[in-house]
Amino acid sequence: MLTIIAKLIKLLNSNANPSQLALAVCFAAAMGLTPLSAPHNILLLFLLLLLRINLSLFLLSWGFFTFIAYVFDPVSHSIGLTLLQADSLQSLLQQLYNNNVWRFLGFNNTLILGSSVVSLLIAIPLFFLSRLLIIKYRSHLLQRVSQSRLGLWLKGGKIYNTYQTFYG
């Protein structure tokens, strides 16, 4: 756990593009909010490995969003149930279900459909919010944290020593 935190601190302090880091948070939200057994997560994992997305930030964010998902599963279920029972969508959903690909993706499951819709709705705002927070951290908070009593105390601890071994 200390190595993941040290890698995250190194990553936030590095010259990595904030958009790449924000994209890691968005991918983690999409995988964390949906059930792990959802087939579209294989596609997300493939894209994660194909694109230049930081795995440390993804794993840390994925754990956070997986924890959040347990709290919001009833809401996701009700959203999925509402969408599946909507009269205006019945013909579209029936056509999609008759296609083998859509049936395999499991969007007839209320939890998968609801959580996918929620993750798609929050993806763009989450991208810009996390990008803004990373930029604000680098420009304002980094200098203050490193000079504070807490920052000086952490420099003498295990996390900073682990950080120094990775940072070189």
- pLDDT of 93-111, one tens digit each? 888 888 888 888 888 888 9
**Predicted pLDDT of residue 30:** 93
- pLDDT of 27-59, one tens digit each? 999 999 998 888 888 888 899 889 888 888 898
Residue 61 has pLDDT above 70, yes or no: yes
Residue with tokens 């964390």: 32
What's the half-sphere exposure (Cβ side, CA atoms, 13 Å) at 18? 15
Band (13; pLDDT cuts 50, 70, 90)? low
Mean of pLDDT values over 133-141: 82
CA pair distance 66, 36, nearest whole angstrom: 9
Is there a contact between 61 and 25 (Cβ–Cβ < 8 Å)?
yes
The whole domain housing 85 covers: 2-167
Could you give the number of structural domains in the chain? 1
Q: Tell me if residue 35 falls in helix, strand or coil.
A: coil
